Amino acid sequence: MKEKNKLVVAISSRALFDLEEGHEIYMNQGVEAYCQYQIEHEDELLEPGVAFTLVKKLLALNDNNSDVEKVEVILLSKNSADTGLRIFNSIESHNLPIVRAAFTSGDSLYRYIKPFGSDLFLSAEPNDVREALEMGFAAAAILPSASRSNDDGPLRIAFDGDAVLFSDEAEKIYREGGLAAFDAFEQSAANDPLPGGPFKDFLASLHRLQKEYSFDDSPIRTALVTARGAPAHERVIRTLRAWDIRIDEAIFLGGKSKGEFLKAFGADIFFDDQSGHCESAAEHVPAAQVLHGVANQ
């Protein structure tokens, strides 16, 4: 199990590095051709993947002068140990302090999330993400994207609200009765905190890390970027207050597209449950779909 108060992020090799060429060989030519390709290229450095900058900034939260580790990143890969040698060579070449890993030779990755004590699992494989979410872990499927976040500045993580930080109860009402029913329900329940969603605990862990710094010097910034607008904003604000969780920026868009706002925030990653929002966001910033709730049934 993880050390107390340490944030543990498990990430698949395809989210960390650009392995799409090898994955295409695997899909079109099979396992044997894929293995041969990786072994032949194991001395060639892998290029950063969609979540590379996110991982780099997470690991930078550790103080090299301290014995206390604030963040650990675990590599989970469907490669074998043999074909995974290229991945570890690339980790070393990119100076990423990642020392723990599981290579499953094509088998599911989600089984190792709990033993490693992970707070978050990021993968390019939707099925593994669904399994992890069903087990109660924060998990999301990284979308392919040419967008890369800025290497400089603080770690910036943005979240959608319903079915991500919060439960999908309000989303269900919207789908059943439309916007008017949604707004009426949220107004009537404005003083009742929303139930937590799959990413509530992950946000709480980020907030715990933030409290180790002064407000002005924090290397972490969080944002809620939601399609909600007034009057449905009040319940969200009161929910975060009830949870005693700080969110640095809250953007209530009232249905407006999220991409440009996420770019303005400078998100290193954005989590949303709906594929359309994720695909739009991925044109501007790295994005990952939380395959949870009524939108994914």
Helix, strand, or coil (residue 63): coil
Q: Would you please indicate which residues are annotated as catalytic (active-site) residues?
A: 160
Q: How far apart are CA 13 and CA 119, in angstroms?
A: 17
Rg (CA), the chain: 19
Count of beta carbons in the 10 Å neighbourhood of residue 224: 23
Among residues 101, 71, 52, 98, the alpha carbon closest in space to that of 3 is found at: 71
- Amino acid in the structure at residue 39: I
Q: What value, to the nearest 5°, has the Cα angle with vertex 132 and ends 196 and 282?
A: 80
d(CA 248, CA 95): 30
How far apart, in whole angstroms, are the C-alpha atoms of residue 258 and residue 150? 19
Measured distance CA(118)–CA(74) in Å, rounded: 8
